[in-house]
Each structure stands twice: as structure tokens, then as C-alpha cells.
Amino acid sequence: PSGDEPMTRSMLVISAHAADFVWRAGGVVALHTSAGGTATVVSLSYGERGESGDLWREPGQTIENVRSRRQKEAARAADLLGAAFIGFDLGDYPLVMDEAATQQLVDVFLDTSPDVVLVHAPNDPFNPDHPVASAASQRARLLAVGAGGAPAAFPTIRPPAMYAFEPHQPDQCDFKPDTFVDVTSAWDQKAEAMKSMVAQTFLREHYVVRAQQRAFQARYLGLGPESNYVEAFQKLTPEKKEFL
């Protein structure tokens, strides 16, 4: 938007586990909502089995308690970023997207009619849940826009742009970033959201350093030394341009 005109764009972020969206796209979500856009975060699972190590160190811990605490962490983090939160509670490791879960995700696409969608990278040899979430997200997008091209009886949305956010180990996941976003102005919001994820405190430093590394790389794209934190993404859908 220009001048005082508010942003009206809608963003949908689909996360396999409770904290994935915070580490990988929290800055972009905060930028988007701060500009007046709407954002919805979907966590397909809470990561209660395989992504809650700090909580499982507590004596007498139960999976029900871990699930509940992870839901609260994710909801608080989304709120700090200005986003609505939806938890599917499908369970993790393995994350299974059956037809009912797929339809539930399609319904979110139809309800939010996003302009841009952020998802996991298609490949991840170290995390079996992430490719499942990515494939399900891409399938749901196609179903929501009308996989047949001209559906006669189903509600549809305009095709949203789709980007993969950065994996934990990008060089092992065929991740080729082609979009860099300066999130320095939103970093305080992202930092607070990361603090909410108390089940994975060990990841905070990793993603601080990653954002700083991407900021240094982005100087070759024209960003200056005032850009301290950058998030990287890879386009998964073709981009429409009026001219180059």
C-alpha cells in the first residue's frame, strides 16, 4: 500500500508443528499484519511427540499436558504476530493427512481466500512430517482454486502465490531461496513470539543467527547494513508480471 492506504491482502501460513511458523516466517507475518493485512496460521499438529523436548524433561509429564501447553504456546505466538491461529491437532511423527484433514485444510483456503501462502519446502530428508505438510498444502491449494480449471459446482478462490519458508537445514533440502525479506523492523515481535515457544528454547539462537546470515547475503541484492535480519523464501508457483 502507498501513503495511508491500509493493506488488504490475506496471508495463510501452514505449519506442520506448533513452532515451525515462528522460526521460519514470524518476521514476515508480523510485517504483513503491521501493514494492515490479515494472517491465519494453521498448525497441523502441536509437535507433542517429537518437537517438545524441553517439556518432556519435566517429571511426570503426560502427552495430554504437552499437547495442551504446545497449543497455548502456538496460539500466543500467533497472537503476538497479529495472526489468527487454527490447530488441527492431527498428531506428529507421523503426521497423516487423510481425506478429512485435506478437506479441512481446503475449507481454510476457502474461508481465508489468501493472496499469499507460506508452507514447508517440498523436501526434507531429516523430518518426515515437513514434506507431508508441504504436499498437503499444495494439494489443498489446487483443490481450492479448482483443480479441473473450471469446476461447475464447487466454491473456489483466486490462485494465491505460494512460497516455501526456509528449512532447518536448507542445503540438505534442495532449498533455493529466491525471495529475501528484510524483517528488521518486525524483529522485536518475532523475538517475543520465539520466547513463547518454551518447548524448544534451543532453536532460538539458531534462527537468530540464520536471519543475520541471510541479511549479510541479501546485501548482494541491494539491502544495506541497516538490514540486520532477513527471512528467505522460495517461490513454488509462477509469478504473474505486467512487465519486467
- Nearest alpha carbon to residue 32 among 96, 124, 114, 92: 114
The pLDDT, as a whole number, for residue 2 is 40
pTM: 0.94
Secondary structure letter of residue 165 according to DSSP: E
Neighbour-count burial of 235, counting CB atoms closer than 10 A to its CB (0-12 exposed, 13-18 middle, 19+ buried): middle
The pLDDT, as a whole number, for residue 3 is 45
Neighbour-count burial of 159, counting CB atoms closer than 10 A to its CB (0-12 exposed, 13-18 middle, 19+ buried): middle
Residues 16-30: tens digit of each pLDDT: 999 999 999 999 999
- Residue 37 and residue 10: Cα distance in Å, rounded? 6
Secondary structure letter of residue 227 according to DSSP: -
| Amino acid sitting at position 4 | D
Kindly give the parts of the chain with pLDDT less than 50.
Answer: 1-4
3-state helix, strand, coil in the chain (%, to 5): 45, 15, 40
| Amino acid sitting at position 241 | K
Grid coordinates of 212: 543475520
Residue in the structure block whose three cell numbers are 496460521: 41
Going through 131-196 in order, the beta strands assigned E by DSSP cover: 161-165, 179-182
The pLDDT, as a whole number, for residue 151 is 57
The pLDDT, as a whole number, for residue 155 is 86
Torsion angles phi and psi, residue 10, rounded to 5: -110, 135
Write the DSSP string, 19-42.
THHHHHHHHHHHHHHHTT-EEEEE
The pLDDT, as a whole number, for residue 6 is 53
Count of other CB atoms within 10 angstroms of residue 221: 11
